[in-house]
A and B are shown apart, each in its own frame.
Chain A
């Protein structure tokens, strides 16, 4: 391998080698896999049970009448089915996954092991609390970490993901306004915000108004200050923002919003950039969700489960939802509906059944303890260093609209201006990157930049990996410039599938498997 990760001698995958068709459609380790409904049989099961003892049915005449239609697989076939599927996925375990605003960092396996300890995995949420003191201790410890890392006054543990945490934070703001009889309706959201922000505000019954960005990629302070008034309930802001930039006016914005009687919600999706170096509580923030599945490395699992605890300022703390854990004289207990009057009378309600994502709490705490306060600070520093390294090594060949304003935080933003006249688009560029063995960066987000490419390498990438990625990006940019757009439009050619027809999927949705027409006729 060269310094940039190129093979030093031609490998087996020489370009242009003809692909002889195979009987199976497989290509050695590239294995096709039918659907479970095509491969399985209704009479097959991969689970053995003891014989069902004689009993009198008490189903009250409501026993299931028709067949269900669920095929089964013998155990070995089941392992193969899902193993073969798994190999059609890209994952952090395989390589760089620079998806901006998603913080795809290494997922330590210690955390998986700890979450599977029977003492955490095999306890019921409604057990007597004396029998789950260790679980409550873990939640209490995690609460303490989150409060100290953010410098905030209270934390709600139950939200199940980032968007759910946003909802929690915005409901607390609504509850605080209601408590003082204030019917403010407007929530200001910068145009660079995640889609969940306006969706959440609307869900809570707020009217959403957009705030423009300035030419430096930050919130336009003048526009925001001009819009503040007695009808503005809150500002939802992401800091560092989705352009990968720190909002230097954060404290001024918060002070102005507070002076106008509103609250400040911060989307904490990008906390990884500042953890251990900046406490949101010092910036005047009233509520912020923390994606444990981003900053604190609980695995994304192909889209969840996540966990989105919300930290609150003293002003909002009384309204935080149930439940959470408190300690009195060494005894830990849940603050729930029945004891809320004594401990937390203004809670706005309950976000979920039970107590939140315990499995994620264990993983996040294991991660925090592994890194410690010192290591988490290093996490932010290395994440920011890696992103700036990518930014500076690519800014001469890509277009980096805000690079001139100074360093970025944990992610580097590029626009598609460098592709002007080449015929290639951001999407083509991303798909070509797939053929290079990388997961593409976030594309077409944030909306404030044309054809956006948002690169978040995270702190768990080595310099060698970054150099290889930079090399691939530079090579692709050169190819686009040199008339290679046509080939890029055909990308990816080495992935399990070529480009998929999303329009067709949406126009005639096929959302569940249906047997082929001939089989259906035979069955009738």
Chain B
């Protein structure tokens, strides 16, 4: 077995050194009735590398990949081009096969890139501090709700209907058990501003409100100015939690920190990380400096070594489970370190100039796609302002339309019925995302496919 270096001779000699007659002697504490006498039935025996590769390649070939044709899915996961350099960097064994940097003297590589990552995230979002990552955007979002409750000592959170429905379900699942009260507004597809419920949120904030949660751009692609919402929340002693599921948008849009957000959570997958069928992804978490001790997750901080040289360590760990146990701010331990490295490396390659170009290119492709689709008879564009994602209403049910387009080789978007099967009024809605990977020809093929499914 290629991963096991011990030979039978080693094993025999080592058993002798230990003073055990057989390997079974080392498992004496296992009750007899629980000991298995041989390999577990119903599972294959060991395989050569080539055979594993063949079998997995067979499964992979059954999937239709985003890169194989026109591709327009978004809604919290985006197809972007990741430079080859990024994958090279994250595959370096010193990063890939290291552990959480608990011994900082021999983990400065990890700690320094985490410090750089935190700084990148804080600047990108215009917040003051950011942590070393969370699992993903959805889990970061519910952690933000809990953090707001710790700060405000209030238990009611208002969630915009423009929030990704999976994020809402994750929050509802956990809050059912923690006693946090969620007021989730129903999403509305108002023309010109789908999913925008700023007015309703302004009305809903009261003295019991801990936080308001609003996604920008929202699930339908609509973008809004959150400043008034932040001001109203603050006036009532509540916090604004801003959610971003497409971080490339921050290269073009006013950042949540500049609009008064107190906590920013984001899905960082778009920078440096592939689609991966939903994971692993990268939760971004940023806040104001005064709230840092209520923040969940690891933090890298600057310090000096015994010789006075700059170095980095994990810090403020008295917030964390391995020190504080049941009084920790979160139970999180493992996070998304390597995905944060991919983000940091991709962002270092892009720089300010590259990020702005990338964002502009995304926006240009999306405006092109939106105009093109809106010109199809029977198709209406719901959005006023948007970044790289927008919602159209088809004259037919969008879910079968998406399936029919897939048969034509076009992955044409996310049907709202996939996300809200319980909302018949959403059945015709289709969310379309375009990125730098989208070509004008892809947009032609999408327009043609939509026209065809409408005609069918």
**What residues on B are CB-neighbors of A85 within 8 Å?**
108-109, 112-113
- Decide: B421 and A36 in contact? CB cutoff 8 A: no
- Asked whether B137 is an interface residue with its Cβ less than 8 Å from the other chain, the reply is yes
Q: Which of A61, A130, A461 meets B406, CB within 8 Å? A: A130
CA–CA, A439 and B161, complex, Å: 49
CA–CA, A79 and B83, complex, Å: 12
- Chain A 371-384 interface 0/1 with B at a Cβ cutoff of 8 Å (1 = within): 11111111101101
Q: Which of B43, B302, B318 meets A373, CB within 8 Å? A: B43
B260 CB, nearest partner CB in chain A, Å:
14
B60, closest chain A residue (CB): A119
B188 CB, nearest partner CB in chain A, Å:
18
- Decide: A125 and B52 in contact? CB cutoff 8 A: no
- Decide: A463 and B6 in contact? CB cutoff 8 A: yes
- Asked whether B199 is an interface residue with its Cβ less than 8 Å from the other chain, the reply is no
- Asked whether A37 is an interface residue with its Cβ less than 8 Å from the other chain, the reply is yes
B403 CB, nearest partner CB in chain A, Å:
5
- Asked whether B56 is an interface residue with its Cβ less than 8 Å from the other chain, the reply is yes
Segment of A4-12, A347-355, A474-482 in the binding face: A347-355
- Asked whether A221 is an interface residue with its Cβ less than 8 Å from the other chain, the reply is no
- Decide: B349 and A125 in contact? CB cutoff 8 A: no
B96 CB, nearest partner CB in chain A, Å:
5
| B side interface size, CB within 8 A | 215
**What residues on A are CB-neighbors of B370 within 8 Å?**
58
Contacts A131-B411, A500-B104, A502-B303 given; does A304 touch B133 at CB 8 Å: yes
B91, closest chain A residue (CB): A112
- Decide: B332 and A78 in contact? CB cutoff 8 A: no
- Chain A 51-62 interface 0/1 with B at a Cβ cutoff of 8 Å (1 = within): 011111111111
- Decide: A86 and B274 in contact? CB cutoff 8 A: no
- Chain B 142-184 interface 0/1 with A at a Cβ cutoff of 8 Å (1 = within): 0000000000000000000000101101101110111100000
Contacts A40-B348, A353-B170, A372-B44 given; does A302 touch B337 at CB 8 Å: yes
Contacts A125-B277, A351-B170 given; does A434 touch B103 at CB 8 Å: yes
CA–CA, A162 and B103, complex, Å: 21
- Asked whether B255 is an interface residue with its Cβ less than 8 Å from the other chain, the reply is yes
- Asked whether A268 is an interface residue with its Cβ less than 8 Å from the other chain, the reply is no
Contacts A62-B385, A121-B274 given; does A278 touch B63 at CB 8 Å: no
- Decide: A462 and B6 in contact? CB cutoff 8 A: yes
- Asked whether A309 is an interface residue with its Cβ less than 8 Å from the other chain, the reply is no
A240 CB, nearest partner CB in chain B, Å:
9
- Asked whether A138 is an interface residue with its Cβ less than 8 Å from the other chain, the reply is yes
- Asked whether A506 is an interface residue with its Cβ less than 8 Å from the other chain, the reply is yes
CA–CA, A130 and B68, complex, Å: 16
- Asked whether A104 is an interface residue with its Cβ less than 8 Å from the other chain, the reply is yes
**What residues on A are CB-neighbors of B34 within 8 Å?**
251, 278-279, 282-283
Instruction: List residues 2-31 of chain B with CB under 8 A from any CB of chain A.
Output: 2-6, 10-11, 13-15, 17-20, 23, 25-31
Segment of B114-122, B234-242, B448-456 in the binding face: B114-122
CA–CA, A110 and B57, complex, Å: 12
- Asked whether B316 is an interface residue with its Cβ less than 8 Å from the other chain, the reply is yes
- Decide: A497 and B104 in contact? CB cutoff 8 A: yes
CA–CA, A510 and B77, complex, Å: 32
- Decide: B347 and A70 in contact? CB cutoff 8 A: yes
B74 CB, nearest partner CB in chain A, Å:
8
Residue of B65, B109, B277, B345 with highest tally of chain A CB at under 10 A = B277
- Chain A 219-262 interface 0/1 with B at a Cβ cutoff of 8 Å (1 = within): 00000000000000000000000000111101100000000000
Instruction: List residues 73-128 of chain B with CB under 8 A from any CB of chain A.
Output: 73, 75-77, 79, 83, 85, 87-110, 112-113, 115-116, 118-120, 122-124, 126, 128
- Asked whether A488 is an interface residue with its Cβ less than 8 Å from the other chain, the reply is no
- Decide: A121 and B276 in contact? CB cutoff 8 A: yes
**What residues on B are CB-neighbors of A97 within 8 Å?**
99
Contacts A89-B110, A302-B101, A385-B23 given; does A374 touch B92 at CB 8 Å: no
Contacts A126-B77, A303-B132, A502-B313 given; does A373 touch B280 at CB 8 Å: no
**What residues on A are CB-neighbors of B101 within 8 Å?**
302-303
**What residues on A are CB-neighbors of B200 within 8 Å?**
none
Contacts A46-B350, A357-B280, A359-B280 given; does A389 touch B355 at CB 8 Å: no
- Decide: B93 and A93 in contact? CB cutoff 8 A: yes
- Asked whether B325 is an interface residue with its Cβ less than 8 Å from the other chain, the reply is yes
**What residues on B are CB-neighbors of A22 within 8 Å?**
none
- Decide: B92 and A359 in contact? CB cutoff 8 A: no
- Decide: B307 and A498 in contact? CB cutoff 8 A: yes
**What residues on A are CB-neighbors of B299 within 8 Å?**
509, 511
- Asked whether B203 is an interface residue with its Cβ less than 8 Å from the other chain, the reply is no
Q: Which of A46, A73, A86, A134 meets B95, CB within 8 Å? A: A86
Contacts A118-B60, A195-B323 given; does A374 touch B46 at CB 8 Å: yes
Q: Which of B20, B97, B174, B311 meets A93, CB within 8 Å? A: B97
Instruction: List residues 79-93 of chain A with CB under 8 A from any CB of chain B.
Output: 79, 81-83, 85-93
- Decide: B321 and A199 in contact? CB cutoff 8 A: yes
- Decide: A301 and B337 in contact? CB cutoff 8 A: yes
- Decide: A505 and B292 in contact? CB cutoff 8 A: no
Closest 7 A/B residue pairs (Cβ): A72-B351, A60-B385, A119-B60, A349-B173, A354-B278, A134-B62, A301-B338
Q: Other CB < 8 Å A-B pairs besides A123-B276, A304-B135, A512-B122, 7 of them?
A: A118-B67, A124-B275, A196-B322, A305-B135, A375-B3, A505-B303, A506-B316
What would 12 A/B residue contacts be, using CB atoms closer than 8 Å?
A70-B123, A92-B98, A119-B59, A124-B73, A195-B333, A305-B135, A352-B135, A353-B138, A353-B166, A370-B3, A499-B306, A513-B302
